[in-house]
């Protein structure tokens, strides 16, 4: 293939020379339009520090290089930092072969950069050096245009994937992207978050795309994975105009063969399954028993990071099949899931592997024929004629729970004759909750003290256990105490009394604390005001901004329940109790009620959020929901000093 | 860096990492000194102790020709997963301080031994902040750095030939079982020592002109919230070595000697060329007063010279010539001061280098050393600035105004708070001397916040606020606003600040004035609404009169204090809020007034009612930048009174 490619390259030399002299070239500077010289601000973004006036990005998959050209105008002092340029490269692998830079002052005076360009060492190991070309353009003032361009070359043996990220850290006024495809394969592309109807156009053997007035990508609390929110075009090569549908079918067959080869029908597995389950166990019972047995094996995803010398000394054995996994007593999550499938089948059950995307990183794009999207796996089983999903390869995951990042995502079931692309079921709020039960006393000086029983459920318990895996008991206790302290008001002291089993796959994890809060509530001459909604996870703060750019994205649906009992101090009487409250929204509810029984005041509070993804246009409703909840939480009980 | 570049860069890094994983295992054998340490028994340590330093040792060998080589050894026992970071060795080096060898070992609790060498290390410049410098680091990961293991390393490095002083740092945030320092000198050489935060110790002679200092069982340096920078509290010894009878040289026996050394390093750098002269003419044209000329030149260097650090050679101490900084219009702190000095000289104003450390307390007048990380200028004005400004009265050089041209938001005559109250080295033509950097009095750092609000029937608080700032509060706010990417980000920052004290906030408008003129007042005016600010409960309505701002210093522990507490800067803040209460309500109870006076700070608040207007006024004054350890319990009481006042509400009753 390379020889044909070389011939094609040779034939294109003349054309290439002509093309490379275009604006993407590293040979000359184009005249800067008068309007760019005059520009002093970014329309719609007053106070912006700088603007990317023009970007020209050209990728050549025939001659193995790319040209990048940036023209940035400094608009405020803060924007001068863009005159410090750092371009990473790897000598002889991703080399910078041409680099030119200049400054242009508002009056049009241009000055070529002739100063030193340093090769800064980023990292060097053995014979490999990752470096960066660094330089600082001189005499950069507000109004100066900074312009630089470079060519980056890679070895002719590579055909790297191309992704055009259309958003820069600055507002982009105008950008031109182009690619000269490798001719022996068919180039296809996928557009993500581009304006409707906007597609790359073919011109002189290149694909070109122009875009104007693109805002920078800004991060927000509770937003979807950043890649899914950024405008981009992904290119990929395919053979013979293969459709995505056909690609997934072929891929499914290939994965199926690999998996079935690994699973096989092995005597050792049959024996092990017979040992694990009883013949009269119902299917669910059998699955639970096998699940528990597989989870007892060492999960290598929880292995600490080792140096190469430790790896060499540990001499982990490769598993060629599921029987090896069982014999070794350890495996990576996919190996463990494959073993589970084999054992389940040996126990007479229907089980299969599922490949899927983890939505904490990215979403599935069915039209992108790239099996690399599927970074994870789990197991499908049939129970009572219906499919169900289990993840024994995910350490500490309780039976029946799917880690949130694997719910409601695109998935692939490999089949003998193809693939089934489907959507994993979503999980409801019962799969992710926190409950807090408190029994507290208030003294006449405003000191609140007592115990709090905290229970993490489902996803929350799973998260806490996995986060704690690499910590020792001292750190785990401190983390739990800090977690609770973070929900309480300033000055609270928290001491963990006891905690449940850290290293299990139980659905819940409980912990009991002793707490003290001095100066609880506020006092006037005769009264003390206090809200019993002690625990504030900070939702309202996450949505404090009036404007929102991205959708609101939680990990999963979730719930919270508080049950707080407060024994009042002697000599105080209740003057006023807040009314019961309820907020009902399409995506959740909040209910809160106070009750006084003798001198024990009780608050019950329930929050339920039934979804996890909310388009940006729903933001005002979300914001209002959580703000109202906070306001209602803050409604105080009024105690009055005096006779009961 | 553009996004595609980042991708490729990460791929390249992954390539490096994968190559690293292919390095074959080598035979492992820990040296006897590590094995001996592994056999020794240890006392019990508190449960939080993440690791214990079994040995830290430096052996310094001075050759006849003045070359100096140091062998560093360190062995640590890891007790907890939090101590696993001890398994990374990081050694900085440059062309003058070459690394001759580097090896590391580990012995696990099961007795397995590992060895790694310099070739296993990665080399990087990523740990530096500058655009470019020739300092790089070798990072070596020690295998099996897990609880129960001993990790140890040894490296030999050439010392910087430019100076004959060694710093030996004694205590750490880990307990140290044994610390040893050996100095071996050729005949005819002498040494002297200075100690800081540690009683001095006489060495044992362990050979011909060879001296050894040794300490056992050094406790871990504790961490306390708000404590001074670790450099201010760490124990260390400075060892100066020199040929006998040498009056001044590369050693740093006195501040004078350090000053002379630095003056030599910078000689000829602060000289003007024709272009600089022309610029001085241009900037001072029409100005007859020296102060006006100086301010114009200071403003040019402060705003017109971009901060870019390119540090090559002599450990980054030597500035670039003023002419090259002027031509490039960029430089680091010492480049900026050098250019400013050249320009001032052209205007006939003497000025001096002043070396400082950005961490207060890092420099001690009793401990001469080049332990600085920043440079400012001392300008000899013919007329003294009024009291309160950053002026040092020098007995011979007169009134010296201290100025930091690197800080873009602090005007001439003021200093950033972190540079105040510490010690600095004034480099004069005849040598050097330490000076105490003055502290700005509280009334130089003013914040006046006035708000007029109305509480509506539904509990919404709506109104407008005007904030006026001078000094450090103005500097802080200018930096915050100027660093924001655009107006939307500024708005978000303000929303975040306000929501932390008023809860949900709808910001109607916000206007800042005085963003660029650093020597004027910074004014921020905004209009806001805070829904449900007033809390209704039965017939009562609660209004918290302290609407915006938080003055308390939060300390979450009650432990006895070892170190002072750094308050940052002095200041004088006043909040005045007038809140019109909704019709149909009368004030039933007001929060109690507060008067809290301590040596380090004062707080006074008062709530009154006039007709339908609830008026709250408070004054908060920080009189000292540091609270002594014995007064920290008072600070806790002081803060809890402020917190209570900030949380208190006025109680309104329906008529």
DSSP A102-152: EEE-TTS-EEE--S--EEEEEEEETTEEEEEEEEE-SS--TT-EEEEEEEE
Q: Is B22's pLDDT higher than 80?
A: no
Q: What is the DSSP letter of B321?
A: P
Largest CA distance in chain B: 96
Q: For residue B311, how many C-alpha atoms fall within 13 Å in the half-sphere facing its CB?
A: 20
Q: For residue A503, how many C-alpha atoms fall within 13 Å in the half-sphere facing its CB?
A: 11
Nearest CA in chain B to A477: B48
User: pLDDT of B387-412, one tens digit each?
Assistant: 999 999 999 999 999 999 999 999 99
Of B144, B303, B542, the CB nearest to A310: B144
In angstroms, the separation between the Cα of residue B328 and the nearest Cα of chain A is: 4
Q: Chain A residues with CB inside 8 Å of B507's CB?
A: 546
Nearest CA in chain B to A69: B2
Nearest-CA neighbor of A99 among A24, A154, A150, A29?
A150
How do strand A493-499 and strand B461-469 relate by DSSP bridges? Answer: unpaired
**Across the interface, do A125 and B22 touch by the CB < 8 Å criterion?**
no
Low-confidence ranges of chain A (pLDDT < 50): 1-26, 643-644
Cβ-based neighbour number of residue B271 at 10 Å:
15
In angstroms, the separation between the Cα of residue A278 and the nearest Cα of chain B is: 41
A642 touches chain B (CB under 8 A): no
pLDDT band for position B160 (50/70/90)? confident
Q: Which residues touch B436 (CB under 8 Å, ≥6 apart)?
A: B365, B392, B421, B422, B423
- CA distance linking residue B360 with residue B339, whole number of Å: 26
Calculate mean pLDDT across residues B127-136. 84
- Detail the DSSP E strand segments found in A137-259: 145-153, 162-165, 171-180, 186-192, 201-203, 206-214, 232-238
Please give the mean pLDDT across all residues of chain B: 92
Nearest CA in chain B to A141: B304
Cα radius of gyration (chain A):
31
Q: Residue B376 has what pLDDT?
A: 98
Is residue A26 within 8 Å of A150, Cβ to Cβ?
Answer: yes
Q: In a mutagenesis test of the A interface, which of B504, B591, B638 is the best target, namely the one with the most A β-carbons within 10 Å?
A: B504
In angstroms, the separation between the Cα of residue B14 and the nearest Cα of chain A is: 10
pTM of the model: 0.90
Nearest CA in chain B to A220: B492
- CB pairs < 8 Å spanning A and B: 252
**Across the interface, do B132 and A66 touch by the CB < 8 Å criterion?**
no
Nearest CA in chain A to B646: A522
Nearest-CA neighbor of B567 among B557, B558, B554?
B554
Nearest CA in chain A to B82: A471
Q: Is B113's pLDDT higher than 90?
A: yes
Nearest-CA neighbor of B108 among B74, B62, B152?
B152
Q: Chain B residues with CB inside 8 Å of A126's CB?
A: 19-20, 23, 119
Is residue A217 within 8 Å of A52, Cβ to Cβ?
Answer: no
Q: Residue A27 has what pLDDT?
A: 56
Where does residue A598 rank: exposed (0-12), middle (13-18), buried (19+ CB within 10 A)? exposed
> Please, what's the b/e burial string for A565-593 (b: 16 or more CB within 10 A of its CB; e: otherwise)?
bbebbeebeebbbbeebebebebbebbbe
**Across the interface, do B21 and A541 touch by the CB < 8 Å criterion?**
no
In angstroms, the separation between the Cα of residue A246 and the nearest Cα of chain B is: 29
**Across the interface, do A524 and B640 touch by the CB < 8 Å criterion?**
no
Is residue A443 within 8 Å of A382, Cβ to Cβ?
Answer: no
**Across the interface, do B535 and A635 touch by the CB < 8 Å criterion?**
yes
In angstroms, the separation between the Cα of residue B545 and the nearest Cα of chain A is: 13
Report DSSP letters for B132-165, one per residue: EES-EEEEEEPTT-STT-EEEEEEEEEPPTT--E
Q: Which residues touch A386 (CB under 8 Å, ≥6 apart)?
A: none
Q: Residue B519 has what pLDDT?
A: 83
- CA distance linking residue A607 with residue A535, whole number of Å: 12
Report DSSP letters for A579-636, one per residue: PPEEEEETTEEEEEEEEEETTEEEEEEEEEE--SEE-GGGHHHHHHHHHHHHHHHHPP
Q: Chain B residues with CB inside 8 Å of A70's CB?
A: 2
**Across the interface, do A546 and B26 touch by the CB < 8 Å criterion?**
no
In angstroms, the separation between the Cα of residue B562 and the nearest Cα of chain A is: 21
Q: Chain B residues with CB inside 8 Å of A46's CB?
A: 486-487
**Across the interface, do A77 and B408 touch by the CB < 8 Å criterion?**
yes
- CA distance linking residue B557 with residue B561, whole number of Å: 10
Is residue A377 within 8 Å of A403, Cβ to Cβ?
Answer: no
Q: At what angle do helices A459-468 and A473-487 cross, to 10 degrees?
A: 130
A118 touches chain B (CB under 8 A): yes
Residue A440 phi/psi, 5-degree rounding, is -130, 155
Calculate mean pLDDT across residues B161-172. 91
Is residue B53 within 8 Å of B174, Cβ to Cβ?
Answer: yes
User: pLDDT of B365-393, one tens digit each?
Assistant: 999 999 999 999 999 999 899 999 999 99
A47 touches chain B (CB under 8 A): yes
Nearest-CA neighbor of A66 among A25, A15, A126, A123?
A25
Nearest CA in chain A to B528: A546
Q: Residue B315 has what pLDDT?
A: 64
A576 touches chain B (CB under 8 A): yes
Identify the H or E element spanning B524: strand B522-530
Structure tokens at B280: 């001085």
CA dihedral (B254, B258, B263, B264) positive or negative: positive
Residue B490 phi/psi, 5-degree rounding, is -60, -45
Report DSSP letters for A51-116, one per residue: EEEEEEEEEETTTTEEEEEEEEEE-SGGGGGGGEEEEEEETTTBEEEEEEEEEE-TTS-EEE--S-
Is residue B74 within 8 Å of B153, Cβ to Cβ?
Answer: yes
**Across the interface, do B592 and A90 touch by the CB < 8 Å criterion?**
no
A112 touches chain B (CB under 8 A): no
Report DSSP letters for B229-242, one per residue: PHHHH--EEEEEEE
Is residue B74 within 8 Å of B88, Cβ to Cβ?
Answer: no
In angstroms, the separation between the Cα of residue B288 and the nearest Cα of chain A is: 28
Can you name the residues that pair with B589 across neighbouring β-strands? B651
Of A474, A519, A577, the CB nearest to B48: A474
In angstroms, the separation between the Cα of residue B37 and the nearest Cα of chain A is: 22
What are the angstrom distances between the C-alpha of A36 and each of A142, A557, B535? 14, 48, 53
- CA distance linking residue A197 with residue B479, whole number of Å: 43
Q: For residue A566, how many C-alpha atoms fall within 13 Å in the half-sphere facing its CB?
A: 31
How remote is the C-alpha of B80 from its chain's centroid? 29
A364 touches chain B (CB under 8 A): no
> Please, what's the b/e burial string for A232-262 (b: 16 or more CB within 10 A of its CB; e: otherwise)?
bbbbbbbeeeeebeebbbebbbebbeebbeb
Q: What angle (nearest 5°) sits at the alpha carbon of residue B593, between those of residues B590 and B598? A: 160
Q: Chain B residues with CB inside 8 Å of A577's CB?
A: 537-538
Of B9, B25, B554, the CB nearest to A88: B9
- CA distance linking residue B427 with residue A399, whole number of Å: 72
Q: What three-state secondary structure class fits A249? A: helix
User: pLDDT of A220-273, one tens digit each?
Assistant: 999 999 989 999 999 988 777 678 899 999 999 999 999 999 999 999 999 999
Long-range pairs of A27-32 with CB within 8 A, sequence gap ≥ 24: A29/A100, A29/A102, A29/A110, A29/A147, A32/A71, A32/A104, A32/A108, A32/A145, A32/A147
- CA distance linking residue A319 with residue A332, whole number of Å: 10
How do strand B446-455 and strand B461-469 relate by DSSP bridges? Answer: antiparallel
- Detail the DSSP E strand segments found in B336-445: 351-356, 374-380, 391-394, 398-403, 423-428, 431-436
C-alpha dihedral, B12 to B18 to B20 to B21, nearest 10°: 170
- CA distance linking residue B156 with residue B136, whole number of Å: 16
A368 touches chain B (CB under 8 A): no
In angstroms, the separation between the Cα of residue A347 and the nearest Cα of chain B is: 40
Residue showing tokens 């072929």: A250
CA dihedral (B522, B553, B638, B593) positive or negative: positive
Q: Residue B6 has what pLDDT?
A: 39
Long-range pairs of A268-271 with CB within 8 A, sequence gap ≥ 24: A268/A323, A268/A326, A268/A327, A269/A322, A269/A323, A269/A326, A269/A339, A269/A342, A269/A343, A269/A346, A270/A346
Residues 455-484 of A with CB under 8 A from B: 470-472, 474-475
Can you name the residues that pair with B210 across neighbouring β-strands? B184, B207
Count H helices and E strands in chain A, helices first.
Answer: 14, 35
**Across the interface, do B328 and A636 touch by the CB < 8 Å criterion?**
no
CA dihedral (B635, B639, B645, B646) positive or negative: positive
A304 touches chain B (CB under 8 A): yes
Q: Chain B residues with CB inside 8 Å of A229's CB?
A: none
What are the angstrom distances between the C-alpha of A482 and each of A150, A485, A515, A555, A637? 49, 5, 12, 21, 27
| End-to-end CA separation in angstroms for chain B | 65
User: pLDDT of B580-629, one tens digit each?
Assistant: 999 999 999 999 999 999 999 999 999 999 999 999 999 999 999 999 99
In angstroms, the separation between the Cα of residue B144 and the nearest Cα of chain A is: 7
Q: Residue B14 has what pLDDT?
A: 46
Q: Chain A residues with CB inside 8 Å of B643's CB?
A: 490-491, 519
User: pLDDT of B481-505, one tens digit each?
Assistant: 988 888 999 999 999 999 999 988 9
C-alpha dihedral, B529 to B531 to B532 to B534, nearest 10°: 10
Phi-psi region of A126 (alpha: psi -120 to 50; beta: other; left: phi over 0): left
Identify the H or E element spanning A534: none
Of A125, A136, A306, the CB nearest to B308: A136
**Across the interface, do B643 and A66 touch by the CB < 8 Å criterion?**
no
**Higher pLDDT pick, B146 / A641:** B146
Residue A591 phi/psi, 5-degree rounding, is -135, 140
Q: Chain B residues with CB inside 8 Å of A596's CB?
A: none
């Amino acid at each position: 293939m390379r020889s044909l490619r070389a011939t094609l390259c040779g034939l294109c030399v003349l054309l290439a020379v002509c093309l490379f002299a275009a604006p993407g070239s590293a040979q000359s500077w184009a005249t800067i339009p008068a309007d760019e010289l005059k520009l002093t601000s970014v329309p719609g973004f007053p106070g912006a520090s700088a603007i990317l006036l023009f970007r020209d990005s050209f990728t050549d998959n025939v001659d193995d290089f790319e040209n990048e050209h940036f023209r940035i105008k400094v608009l405020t002092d803060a924007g001068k930092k863009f005159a410090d340029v750092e371009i990473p490269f790897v000598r002889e692998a991703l080399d910078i072969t041409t680099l030119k830079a200049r400054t242009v002052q508002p009056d049009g005076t241009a000055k070529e950069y002739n100063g030193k360009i340093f090769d800064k060492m980023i990292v060097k190991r053995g014979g490999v050096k990752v470096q960066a070309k660094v330089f600082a353009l001189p005499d950069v003032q507000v109004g100066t245009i900074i312009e630089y361009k470079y060519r980056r070359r890679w070895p002719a043996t590579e055909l790297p994937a191309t992704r055009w990220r259309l958003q820069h850290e600055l507002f982009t006024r105008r950008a031109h992207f182009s690619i000269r495809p490798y001719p022996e394969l068919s180039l296809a592309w996928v557009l993500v978050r581009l304006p409707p109807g906007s597609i790359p156009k073919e011109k002189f053997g290149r694909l070109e795309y122009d875009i104007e007035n693109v805002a920078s990508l800004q991060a927000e609390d509770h937003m979807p994975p950043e890649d899914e929110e950024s405008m981009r075009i992904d290119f990929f090569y395919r053979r013979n105009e293969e459709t995505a549908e056909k690609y997934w079918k072929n891929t499914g067959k290939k994965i199926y063969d690999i998996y079935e080869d690994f699973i096989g029908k092995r005597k050792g597995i049959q024996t092990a399954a017979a040992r694990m389950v009883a013949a009269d166990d119902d299917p669910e019972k059998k699955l639970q028993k096998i699940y528990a047995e597989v989870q007892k094996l060492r999960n290598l995803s929880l292995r600490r990071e080792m140096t190469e010398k430790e790896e060499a000394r540990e001499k982990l054995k490769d598993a060629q099949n599921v029987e090896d996994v069982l014999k070794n007593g350890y495996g990576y999550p996919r190996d463990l899931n494959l073993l589970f499938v084999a054992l389940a089948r040996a126990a007479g059950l229907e089980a299969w592997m599922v490949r899927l995307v983890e939505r904490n990183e990215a979403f599935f794009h069915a039209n992108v024929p790239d099996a690399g999207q599927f970074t994870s796996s789990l197991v499908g089983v049939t129970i009572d004629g219906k499919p169900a999903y289990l993840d024994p390869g995910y350490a500490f995951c309780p039976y029946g729970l799917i880690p949130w990042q694997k719910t409601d995502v695109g998935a692939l079931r490999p089949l003998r004759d193809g693939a089934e692309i489907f959507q994993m079921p979503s999980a409801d709020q019962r799969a992710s909750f926190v409950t807090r039960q408190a029994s507290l006393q208030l003294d006449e000086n405003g000191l609140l003290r007592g115990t709090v029983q905290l229970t993490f459920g489902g996803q929350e318990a799973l998260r806490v256990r996995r986060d704690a895996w690499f910590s020792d008991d001292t750190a785990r206790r401190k983390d739990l105490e800090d977690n609770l302290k973070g929900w309480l008001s300033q000055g609270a002291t928290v001491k963990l009394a006891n905690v449940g089993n850290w290293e299990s796959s139980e659905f819940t994890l409980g912990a009991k604390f002793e707490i003290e809060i001095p100066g609880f509530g506020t006092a006037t001459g005769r009264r003390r005001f206090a809200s019993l909604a002690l625990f504030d996870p900070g939702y309202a703060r996450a949505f404090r901004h009036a404007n929102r750019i991205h959708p609101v994205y939680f990990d999963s649906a979730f719930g919270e329940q508080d049950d707080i009992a407060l024994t009042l101090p002697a000599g105080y009487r209740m003057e006023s109790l807040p009314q019961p409250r309820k907020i009902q929204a399409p995506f959740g509810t909040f209910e809160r009620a106070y009750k006084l029984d003798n001198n024990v005041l009780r608050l019950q509070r329930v929050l339920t959020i039934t979804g996890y993804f909310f388009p940006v246009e729903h933001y005002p409703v979300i914001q209002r929901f959580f703000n109202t909840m906070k306001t209602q939480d803050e409604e105080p009980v009024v105690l009055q000093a005096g006779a009961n | 860096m553009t996004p595609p570049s980042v991708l490729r860069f990460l791929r390249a890094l992954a390539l490096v990492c994968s190559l690293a994983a292919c390095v074959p295992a080598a035979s492992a054998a820990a040296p006897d000194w590590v094995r001996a340490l592994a056999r020794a028994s240890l006392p019990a340590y508190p449960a939080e102790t993440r690791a214990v330093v079994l040995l830290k040792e430096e052996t310094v060998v001075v050759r006849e020709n003045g070359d100096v080589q140091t062998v560093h050894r360190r062995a640590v026992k890891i007790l907890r997963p939090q101590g696993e970071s001890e398994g990374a060795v990081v050694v900085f080096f440059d062309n003058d301080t070459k690394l001759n060898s580097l090896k590391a070992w580990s012995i696990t609790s099961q007795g397995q031994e590992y060895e790694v060498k310099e070739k296993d290390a990665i080399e990087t410049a990523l740990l530096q902040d500058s655009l470019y410098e020739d300092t790089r680091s070798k990072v070596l990961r020690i295998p099996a750095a897990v609880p129960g293991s001993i990790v140890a390393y040894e490296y030999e490095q050439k010392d910087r030939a430019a100076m004959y002083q060694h710093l030996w740092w004694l205590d750490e945030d880990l307990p140290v079982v044994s610390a040893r320092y050996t100095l071996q000198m050729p005949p005819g050489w002498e040494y002297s020592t200075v100690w800081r935060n540690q009683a001095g110790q006489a060495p044992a002679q362990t050979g011909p002109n060879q001296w050894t200092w040794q300490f056992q069982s050094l406790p871990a340096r504790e961490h306390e919230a708000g404590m001074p920078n670790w450099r201010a509290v760490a124990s260390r010894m400075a060892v100066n070595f020199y040929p006998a009878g040498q009056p001044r040289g590369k050693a740093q026996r006195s501040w004078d000697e350090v000053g002379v050394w630095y003056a030599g390093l910078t000689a000829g750098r602060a000289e003007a060329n024709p272009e600089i002269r022309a610029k001085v003419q241009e900037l001072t044209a029409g100005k007859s007063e020296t102060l006006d000329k100086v301010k114009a030149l200071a403003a040019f260097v402060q705003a017109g010279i971009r901060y870019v650090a390119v540090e090559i050679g002599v450990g980054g101490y030597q500035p670039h010539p003023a002419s090259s900084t002027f031509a490039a219009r960029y430089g680091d702190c010492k480049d900026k001061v050098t250019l400013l000095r050249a320009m001032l000289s052209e205007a006939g104003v003497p000025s001096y280098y002043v070396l400082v450390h950005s961490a207060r307390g890092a420099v001690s007048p009793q401990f001469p050393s080049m332990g600085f990380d920043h440079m400012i200028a001392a300008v000899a004005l013919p007329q003294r600035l009024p009291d309160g400004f950053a002026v040092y009265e020098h007995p011979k050089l007169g009134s010296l105004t201290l100025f930091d041209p690197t800080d873009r938001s602090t005007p001439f005559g003021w200093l950033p708070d972190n540079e105040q109250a510490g010690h600095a080295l004034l480099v004069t033509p005849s040598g050097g001397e330490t000076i105490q950097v003055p502290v700005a009095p509280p009334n130089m750092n003013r914040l006046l916040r006035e708000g007029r609000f109305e509480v509506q029937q539904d509990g919404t608080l709506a109104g407008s606020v005007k904030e006026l700032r001078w000094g450090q509060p103005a500097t802080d706010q200018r930096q915050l606003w100027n660093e924001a990417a655009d107006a939307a980000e500024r708005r978000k920052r303000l929303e975040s600040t306000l929501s932390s004290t008023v809860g949900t906030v709808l910001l109607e408008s916000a206007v800042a004035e005085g963003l660029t003129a650093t020597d004027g007042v910074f004014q921020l005016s905004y209009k806001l609404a805070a829904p449900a600010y007033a809390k209704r409960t039965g017939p009562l309505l609660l209004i918290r009169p302290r609407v915006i701002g938080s003055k308390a210093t939060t300390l979450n522990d009650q432990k006895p204090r070892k170190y002072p507490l750094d308050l940052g800067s002095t200041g004088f803040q006043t909040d005045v809020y007038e809140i019109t209460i909704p019709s149909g309500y009368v004030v039933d109870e007001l929060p109690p007034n507060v008067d809290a006076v301590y040596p380090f700070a004062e707080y006074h608040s008062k709530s009154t009612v006039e007709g339908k207007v609830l008026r709250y006024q408070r004054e908060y004054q920080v009189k000292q930048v540091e609270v002594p350890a014995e007064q920290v319990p008072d600070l806790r009481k002081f803060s809890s009174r402020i917190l209570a006042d900030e949380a208190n509400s006025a109680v309104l009753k329906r008529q």
